[in-house]
């Protein structure tokens, strides 16, 4: 596993990005006009990404959005949006594998 990660870095397939959850949620709120959100989605859909890390990133956002109001409607809407956005980029099977 270590050698795979090192190989990806040496091949130039490795990119480090730090994501601030408040920015992600703010941009999701303006999803129809946010170029940042599209770049973010393109980045997390890269095939070189670790699926567990992407699932954790999205899961943490879901937990942040869960407020118990409206039976978690905001959280459910974000989950549906992320699944649809990743499905557009990876296909449905690829998106489900990424979020498994």
pLDDT digits (tens, 9 = 90+) for 44-97: 898 888 888 888 888 888 888 887 677 788 888 999 999 999 999 999 999 988
SS3 letters for 68-96? Answer: CHHHHHHHHHHHHHHHHHHHHHHHHHHHH
pLDDT, residue 7, reads: 56
Task: Name residue, tokens 């973010």.
Answer: 40
User: How far is 63 from 79, CA to CA, in rounded Å?
Assistant: 11
| pTM score over 0.85 | no
pLDDT digits (tens, 9 = 90+) for 16-28: 666 777 788 888 8
């Amino acid at each position: 596993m270590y050698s795979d990660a090192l190989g990806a870095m040496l091949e130039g397939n490795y990119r480090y990005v730090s994501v601030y959850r408040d920015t992600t949620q703010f941009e999701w709120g303006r999803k129809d006009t946010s170029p940042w959100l599209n770049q973010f989605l393109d980045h997390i859909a890269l095939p070189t990404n670790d699926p567990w890390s992407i699932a954790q990133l999205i899961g943490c956002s879901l937990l942040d959005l869960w407020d118990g109001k409206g039976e978690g409607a905001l959280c459910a809407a974000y989950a549906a949006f992320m699944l649809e956005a990743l499905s557009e980029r990876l296909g449905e099977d690829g998106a489900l594998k990424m979020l498994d």
